[in-house]
Chain A
Amino acid sequence: MPPTLSLPPGRRLLDAFAGPHGIDGYLEQLDPLLVTGECRAEVVAAERGTEESVTLTLRPNRAWDGFQAGQFVRVAVEIDGVRHQRCYSPASREGRRPTLEITVKRHPGGLVSNFLADRAEPGMVLGLSQAEGDFRLPRPLPGSTLLIAGGSGITPLIAMLRSLLAEGRERSVALLHYAPDPARAIYREELERLAGGSPSFQLLRSYTRAPGAGELDGHFSPRHLQRVEPPFAEAEAFACGPPALLDAVRGAWAVGREQRLHIESFVPPDLAPAGEPGEGAIRFACSRIEAPNSGASLLEQAEAAGIAASFGCRMGICHTCTRRKLAGTHRNLITGETSSEPDEEIQLCVSAALGDLTLAL
């Protein structure tokens, strides 16, 4: 890695000695957590809270800068030699602390979630990214906050709840929590404990497949909002969960108040529906260009969009056109294989998009 001017002189000298691999190329042979230029984390505890989920306590290395409640990190695991990244919202209190907590819920057929739910053990080293995302608590903290969570969408909201309750008990917080039944409600016991211990926290639960078990019944409806104290209209609201829940929440916020509603949606990539070869749009993220997906190879589409992408053989041999796919599903035109893996290196000349696709180009 070439030394950059932003590094301190001592570090530049060290990298001059350790070039071209850099000091990390040697440190990581001693201990993968010693690297200075890449975030990594060690699993220090793995607690199987429900049958469907595992809560991991991670100890990040020194490269990690911490997070704000509501943000997400990319966690990378290696499965049969291939590195897969998924986004998880830390559920712990915000700040730069020695550990962070993530909860992983199994998705049917989900490669990473099932791997972590089955195999995560203390001592395992995972890749980590710096925290990202604008879904976070505003500063100064709002006087009253409404949190609406569905399924594993509880994790960023738990981080917000924990941070709010830790920072000031005079602030009121309400949580509308939707889960199929009590056994599958992630963080159920902790929520009950928090609700019992802090008068400023109002917990309203709805178990969609176990009517009568919670304070509310059924899927989200504007009627549920009537139960919130103080009136929800005055609160800064944060919602996270499956698309149907978020659509219903959006519909309940009247025009003029929507700027107080913050929404985070996450759909696991394994479940993201892939489109057809000629559908959707190609986003060239670095060039800030979006073009309709013609179904042709991504290299041809980049050229048609006026982007000077480097290329060589145009037959899948030389890897000159290899670029990072940030999101979307692509098909390898030679092998016919498809992949919806985010953050993946692909050869543009022999890849076509199935539906929407974003490239780092």
Chain B
Amino acid sequence: MRALLRTLVERLASLRITVVLLVLGMVLVVIATLDQVHLGIWAVQAKYFRSFVVVQQLPGTGVSIPFFPGGYLIGGTLLINLLCAQFLRFNLTWRNLGLHLTHFGIILLLVGELLTGLLAIESHLTLDTGDTKNYAEASFERELAVIDVTDPAFDQVWAVPLSRLARREPVALPGCPLTLLPLQFHENANFFMRSDAPNAPASPATLGFGPQIVVQPSEPTYRPNEENAPTAFVEFRGPDGPVGVLLATLAIERPQTFTAAGHTYAVILRRARIYFDFSLSLLEFRHDKYPGTEIPRNFSSRVRLRSADGSEDRQVRIYMNNPLRHGGYTFYQSGFKNNDRTTILQVVRNPGWLLPYIACVISGLGLVHHFILTLAGFLQRRRASATTA
């Protein structure tokens, strides 16, 4: 049994496997980079890197075939290969310390990237000058928010992920008398006013703006400057039977309200919200340009940071290459709009953010160590051969 295990580890630790994996990884990175022109950076990450197998739909058919190992598979196998090799050939001497450190650093880097892929949440915080917000809006996730606005003191929110709407199965809202039944769901859609398309079939919607809008499903877009408008027709059912059907779409930026079972509900399909226990207010946004040009020199936001419990209240300047790190979140100056009146901060929560730094230090030390030893050996041999010659 032990012998078998040892053979297995020896096989897995083979340098041949390492080289094959490195080449596969390289090819994966190259084709993924080329595919970015079509899919955009985010879809490419999901398709190639955050997957076990890359699946390609054959053009013109509905058939999808796996055609290349994905990032998780290659990275994972490389990790196993590395671990086995370290385990097998681990004999720590001064000479090979550098190489061990380098490989250990790379193991950490791979683990760090895996953690980032699993745990990091990217979102945006858009603030007009003078505005205050205590939440960020996710960059990619969308949610259907059902908000009970009856109580004058607070709002009760049920946030339904869109994956649940796509399943078209009833969704129960815990603690709420309403149940959702998604009737239709589209990743993206175009819209017309009914008055402009008088011959369109009647809308399934009975509540809110829906009846006046004609929905035309369309292909999802991956272009960098466009956003999909996920759209759903959702039936609400109360304890006494159906309440009505509502058109929810990202393109309608305001909540639609209705009353059921004595409560008033506001419903909106929006970017998923991430609430903080502190708030940020934009005091001033600055956009400096080089004199006589439109070349941006710097963007900066002066914000006021206040914690919910009042223990903290300070001013912070966020600008290019100088983010604010607070409460496990990092706020980066990302963009602006509205004639420089509105700032867009990118908000990232990445519990594994420190790992790459540690990995880099370890790898770097290892490489430098190895390089210096190699160089010293080379020079020594030259000198030796020079004296003998």
A and B co-occur in one complex? no
Give me the interface of A with B, judged by CB distance under 8 Å: none
